[in-house]
Every structure is written in structure tokens, then in C-alpha cells.
Amino acid sequence: MDSIAVKPPSGAALASPKVTKNAKTAAVTANSMESSVAFGCEHVRELFEEAKKAATRNYIQILQTIHDKPSIIAQTHRSTANADGRSVVSLRPLYLCLQCPNVMTEEVRDGHFDAKGHAFSVESREGYLYCHPCADYVYDPALETLRLQKGKKRKHEEMNSPDNSQLIRHNSTFVPCRAIGLRGLYNMGQTCFMSVILQTLLHNPFVRNFYLAEGHKPADCEKDACVSCAMDEIIIEFHSAEKTEGYGAVSMLLGSWMAAQALAGYQQQDAHEYMQFILNTLHLENGGSTDSHGSDCGCIIHQTFAGMLQSTVTCDKCRNVTTALDPVMDLSLDLRSQAKKRKLQQSGDGGDKDFAIDIRDCLDRFTGRERLAAAEYTCGNCGGQQQNATKQLSIKRLPPVLPIHLKRFEHSKSSSSKLETKIKFPLTLDMYPYTTHCKTTAPTTKASLKNPSLSNLNSSQNINSPYPSLYYELSSVVVHKGKIDSGHYVSYSREGNDWFLFDDSKVVLVPESEVLAANAYLLFYMVGALEV
């Protein structure tokens, strides 16, 4: 790609042309359909005056990279997290500089403009042109024609004949950028448990993109009251029309009742149990079977949520190690033992009674060593004798989306109770310390990297190497308010950089601080990046 040097633009930035609606028909007007502007903005005009030929050639090359080559190429950039330059696959759109061969994240894009003065970049999914001085995407007629052609050599007249233009004007429906799934769900009689789980799936990019790409085709489905068809109906509705009123998920409720008799009726249900139900049902209705396991099932649900736990038991006498693998769709973390431990610490220190447990402490306990009495373990290597042993769980394989269930509800024969203990959880969670790889290799904690005598490090290991990490970003939070038998569920989900509260049919923009202060019941973390 040719490098283009353009003098950084000066003066006030000009706004890009906007698409307007006809107030009566809500259709796109003819003048807005075929824009008559000469340039996308003043900065594009300056670019074309100085280097139009090179800019056009570079734009065509970028479009060909996006549309003709494997999609992973345009989504791969050099990591700047540890200054090691590793290739990382981003799950969010990247930006390809129009004036040099750089592929950047949104943050690096802004710094690139400050350092190099390169004002234009191309979005990696659809090829939209971003102008940094305008701080917006801009519509330029010449470049838009190339974008629609996807970098291929086709005459403009072949695509935009008078007959086609007239056909487009009379049959097109205006779809605004606001149709991004920000819509509530009506409560149809204590159905908030269903609504919060549906909202987490609606804002899960893996599940959402599967349905928007016609991964499940209702026209070809012969099942009555199909839950997957109902999910397709909701996602298409939420992403195809600009509506602010709530949506009645009648088909989903009926499908749930038909698939599980325990859900039938208008009693309050547990959101975690409903999540397990709908994930299993969507698995079965999208190519999965009852014999499929997380390791070999190719359905969208297992590709998104399926992980693997490893249980390791070590005999205290002969040190024989036995391992077992267990597929999981979520992690269930115990709170009561952590709450008791923290309460004792607080009472001993005379601290604040309104204490909070850090979720990382719960994960440490979940993957910590557990003593097994001789009555609980029989060692095959010791001739079938009962021996004391040590058991440890670790995460063998992490899924792209990791649901974490916090055990707030306890049930016994005589009563049920809810644990109101506050849980601290971060926006970004490093899952590497809880993986099998971390547990079974030489310790590489930050303390041991600073002081090699603290651990038995490999001689081949570089002490100065970056600390291993597997970062997950918080994407949704489900909260249960009130008592166990008369409570209400709400959820928070992230859309872009903004957080929204979903309370039945009400949708409210909320600050990040409110999300982190929520008394969470379910947490959904999504992998930040995929290395190649």
C-alpha cells in the first residue's frame, strides 16, 4: 500500500451529510437516497486535491482485503498491551489506515492521528470511512460507490440504472442506526426471570450474529413452538425496526412452556435454571443432540459457552495423580463459606459490618486444593486401599463467553434462604490464574517474577517475560432484588461503551459505577481478544 502524506487539516471540522426522513411516510427522500454532495467532508476534499489517485487505490486494496480475503485478516492487529507486538484477533471492529498499512484498535487509531497526522481510516467489517477531524464516519459519493462494489471493477451504471433507482425509492425501508437491540420486554406475569436471560443473549455478539446471519431458518423448521424460532423472531424484530415500546415475547414463553412443564404457569422461576434450560434447548434445536458434549459439538451454543473443567486427585501416600474432565456451561461459585470467613476477619479486626467479597477470592477457593479423607478416596495404585488425598479443580478450556453463577439461594427440606452478601467484581477479569496450565506449570506469579527464590522456575523461563494473562470483559449482569419468594430480576448489558439497565419493558442508560455496585446473581464475561 502506498503511503500518503497529507497536510493535517486546519480550522473547524465540517459535519458529514445526514440522511433525512420524510415526516409523513418515514421513508428516505429521493434527495437523501442519491446524495448530491461533492465530497464526504472538507477533509476528504483536501485529501483528494493532494492525492486522490493514491487514496482511491489504497481504499480499493483495503476493501479487497475485507471482502475477498479471510475475514480474520482484517480483524488482526499487533498487540500493544505488553509491547510485545503479538498478533491478536479482535472481536470488535478495527480500523485500517487509508494512508499507511497500519491496522489499529479505536484507541490506537486516535493516537495514530496525533503522531502521524493520518486523518482517515477504514472500518474493518463493512469498509466505512472514518474521518478523525470530524470524529465521525463520512459519506463520500466516489468512495461509497467503491464500497458498494466491494473493491470490484463494476461500472456504476450497471448497479444504478434509472429503473433500479426508481425501484429502490419505492420499495426501500429506512433502517436507522438506533435499531441495535435496545428494547425492553413486557412482563407477562412474573416472567422477569426469562426477560433478563433473553437480554443477555440479545446482547451476546456470538448468538446475535448467528441469528442475524440466518443460522436458524424458521421457514425450514418443522417443530411446533420452537424456542430457536422464537429467539430468531426476537432478534430480527429488535434489529430491524426503530421502536421504543416493549416487546411481548409470547412465542418464547409458549415455547418454554411446551419444552419444560416445570416452567408452565406464572410462578416465579430461577434465572440460572432458566439459562441452563434455554441453552440446552437452543443446542438441541440448532444441530446438537443429547449425546453431544462440549468438546465435539459444533452448535452455536457450545461454540459460545462450552468450557471444560479438570479434576485432579493426588494420593498422599504414593503421589499417584488421576484426572477427570467435565464439560460445563457456567461456573457456580459458593458464597456462604467465603462470607463466613470474611465475617470472622471483620469481627476480629473490628471492621465495617457491610463487607464485600471479591469474586477473585471465590475463584481462588473454587480452584484451590481440597483435602479428601480416606473414606472418600480409593487409590488404584495402592492396591485399592483407601487413602487420604488432595483434590483440585482447574479450568482446562475457557469458552468465549463465561457465565458465572453466584450461589445466593439455599434450599433445604424445611426452608429456603437468600444470601445478601455483596460481591465485588471487576470490568476486566484475568482468568489465567484459574486455568489448568497455570496450576500445573511452575509458579509464575508477579511476586515470584520479582523474586525467583520464591518459586522453582524453569531454567529456560525468562524472568523478564510478561506475566501470562487471559482477560475477559464484563458484558452482562443479572440481579435479583427482594426476597427469595417475592423478588424481581433486572439486568445490565453493555452496548458499545455504554451500559443499560433492562427492567422488564424499561431501558435506561446507566453509569458504569451503578453496574459495579449491583448485587449480582449472574455475571457474563466475554473474552477480550483471540490470539493467533
For the annotated catalytic residues, the residue numbers are 192, 488
Integer-rounded Cα radius of gyration of the chain = 27
Alpha carbon distance 499, 508 (integer Å):
9
Helix (H, G, I), strand (E, B) or coil at 185: strand
Please give the Cα distance from 389 to 370 (Å, whole number): 9
Label each residue of 39-87 as H, E or C: CCCHHHHHHHHHHHHHHHHHHHHHHHHHHHCCHHHHCEEECCCCCCCCE
CA distance 452 to 437: 20
The DSSP code for 240 is T
Residue type, 30: A
Return d(Cα 306, Cα 296) in angstroms, integer.
10
Whether residue 308 contacts residue 300, with contact meaning beta carbons closer than 8 Å, is answered with no
Give dist(CA 113, CA 525) in Å, integer: 32
Which helix (H) or strand (E) segment holds residue 115: the answer is: helix 106-116
Judge contact between 198 and 252, C-beta under 8 A. Answer: yes
Strand 129-131 vs strand 120-123: parallel, antiparallel, or unpaired?
Answer: antiparallel
Three-state DSSP at 314 gives strand
Going by C-alpha positions, the residue among 335, 324, 341 that lies closest to residue 359 is: 335
Other beta carbons less than 10 A from residue 457's beta carbon:
16
Q: 197: closest CA among 170, 245, 231?
A: 231
Distance of CA 262 to the CA centre of its chain: 30
- CB-based contacts of 279, cutoff 8 Å, min separation 6: 301, 305, 329
Query: Please, what sign has the CA dihedral across residues 382, 385, 389, 394?
Result: positive
Sign of the CA dihedral 357, 362, 363, 369?
Answer: positive
Pair 395, 435: CB distance under 8 Å: yes
The pair phi, psi for residue 294, each rounded to 5°, is -60, -25
Strand spans (E) along 376-497? 378-379, 385-386, 389-397, 401-407, 409-411, 416-418, 422-424, 428-430, 471-481, 488-495
- Left (φ > 0), alpha (ψ -120 to 50) or beta: where does 63 sit? alpha
